[in-house]
């Protein structure tokens, strides 16, 4: 009995340790579309993944570390968590009344606005994450 409990605890610890690579079956593929409705510049699409039940922020960090053409910054709000500040060098601005909007195109082609941000949103396989630069 003690051996089974020890094995279970060890397996759980290994699953939670940072740096332990995910297997391909643990990867949830997503695409990230960067679009700009203010200047109407060309859209850019990137491919990445999140780990099984992983948050979008992890996928964006993975994309940034693996693709030199994608950069983003975020701000950590103590009450609401992380939110996008800039994508590919373009930052939202209160003076210009611009911001980065998070949208998701689901697998049935419906576009939704998640009720959570990049730090809590858990993408499903093959969803398109839309990072849209917009005015308010």
| Whole-Å CA distances, 50 to 21, 36, 61, 103 | 12, 24, 10, 17
Q: What is the pLDDT of residues 49-104, one digit of tens each?
A: 999 999 999 999 999 999 999 999 999 999 989 989 999 999 999 999 999 999 99
- Please, which pLDDT band fits residue 18 given cuts at 50, 70 and 90? low
Asked whether residue 16 is domain-assigned, the answer is no
pTM given for the model: 0.80
Query: Torsion angle, CA of 25/26/29/32, rounded to 10 degrees?
Result: -160
Q: Does 10 fall in a domain? A: no
DSSP type of residue 93 = B
Q: Is residue 66 included in any domain, yes or no? A: yes
- Here the CATH number for the domain that contains residue 57 is 2.170.130.30
Q: Which of 27, 77, 56 minimizes the C-alpha distance to 121?
A: 56
Q: Considering only CA atoms, which of 44, 45, 67, 48 is closest in space to residue 58? A: 48
- On the question of pLDDT at 13 being above 80, the answer is no
Enclosing domain of residue 31: 26-135
- The count of structural domains within the chain is 1
35 pLDDT higher than 60: yes
């Amino acid at each position: 009995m003690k051996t089974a409990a020890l094995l279970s605890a060890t397996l759980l610890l290994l699953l939670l340790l940072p740096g332990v690579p995910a297997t391909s079956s643990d990867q949830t593929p997503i695409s990230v579309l960067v679009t700009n409705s203010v200047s109407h510049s060309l859209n850019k699409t990137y491919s990445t993944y999140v780990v099984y039940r992983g948050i979008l922020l992890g996928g964006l960090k993975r994309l940034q570390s693996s693709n030199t053409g994608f950069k983003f910054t975020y701000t950590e709000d103590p009450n609401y968590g992380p939110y996008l500040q800039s994508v590919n060098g373009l930052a939202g601005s209160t003076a210009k009344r611009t911001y980065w909007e998070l949208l998701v195109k689901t697998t049935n082609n419906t576009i939704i606005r998640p009720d959570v941000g990049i730090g809590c949103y858990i993408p499903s396989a093959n969803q398109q994450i839309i990072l849209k630069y917009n005015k308010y």
